[in-house]
Amino acid sequence: MLELVGVTSRYGPVTALHDVDLVAEAGRITAVLGANGAGKTTLLRTISGLHRADKGTIRFDGRDITRLSTDAMTRAGMSHVPEGRGVITELTVRENLRLGQLGRSRSGTAMSIDDVVDLFPVLGDRSAALAHTLSGGERQMLVIGRALLATPRMLLLDEPSLGLAPRIVTQIFGIVRQLVESQGLTVLLVEQNARSALSIADVGVVLNLGRVVAQDSAAVLSADEGLRHAYLGY
Ligand SMILES: Nc1ncnc2c1ncn2[C@@H]1O[C@H](COP(=O)(O)OP(=O)(O)O)[C@@H](O)[C@H]1O
Ligand SMILES: [Mg+2]
């Protein structure tokens, strides 16, 4: 569904991605793993059009999207959940969710706010609460829920587990897995938390200093002790 060929992204003199080749198959979770500074966020920003690739080609469903704007990407069915859980803190949970319905794609998961509340019941319980009163886990659920309301076919998730208790991470990752199974959603999940990410991913891609150093099934990567110690931190 998504293919990167030879993608290089720079910030002035800093090359954050070097010649990255990557494939994310439809209906699968592809985890992109790597330490802080590996280039994970740059990868997602380059895919979703927030940052321009300096070299290479990005295809979504066979279409060259390398130079597409973020709005056009959303309409094409790609929804990016940036790191940092950006919610509009002065609005209620429900109002934040409604924002997700703006600029929907033409095809995709066609979810309603009620469907999102079924997935994340706490968002229903706290529907009238101002978003600034939410816990970190609730905020993460809200940003994922909001992204789903844009009816994506593909979801880009940037470190959803950061700073959350293991129990909450398990819960959120379980729901992401369930979405993939039930809706056929395609997910590119960027994580430093390699162990948790590999537990729900089908495929893993390991980034180190902006280069892909391994790309294989999640089972093969998890079983590779040398790789785990060298790059995955466990
Ligand atoms: N806006 C920026 N300006 C300059 N350098 C940046 C910027 N954003 C990221 N970088 C650099 O690009 C590299 C990759 O960063 P990033 O994509 O944020 O990695 P990760 O998400 O894996 O932690 C790092 O060396 C980082 O310092
Ligand atoms: Mg990052």
Q: Which domains does the chain have, with CATH numbers?
A: 2-232 (3.40.50.300)
Please state, in angstroms and rounded to a whole number, the distance separating the CA atoms of residues 178 and 173. 9
Distance 45 CA to ligand 1 centre (A): 11
Please state, in angstroms and rounded to a whole number, the distance separating the CA atoms of residues 45 and 21. 16
- Pick the atom of ligand 1 nearest to 45's CA: 17
Sort strands 63-64 and 55-60 into parallel, antiparallel or unpaired. Answer: antiparallel
Phi-psi region of 108 (alpha: psi -120 to 50; beta: other; left: phi over 0): left
Q: Tens digit of pLDDT per residue, the chain (234 long)? A: 999 999 999 999 999 999 999 999 999 999 999 999 999 999 999 999 999 999 999 999 999 999 998 888 888 999 999 998 889 999 999 999 999 888 676 666 678 999 999 999 999 999 999 999 999 999 999 999 999 998 899 999 999 999 999 999 999 999 999 999 999 999 999 999 999 999 999 999 999 999 999 999 999 999 999 999 999 999
**Ligand 1 lined by 16 (C-beta under 6 Å):** yes
**Ligand 1 lined by 13 (C-beta under 6 Å):** no
Burial group, residue 75, by CB count within 10 angstroms (0-12, 13-18, 19+): middle
**Ligand 1 lined by 34 (C-beta under 6 Å):** yes
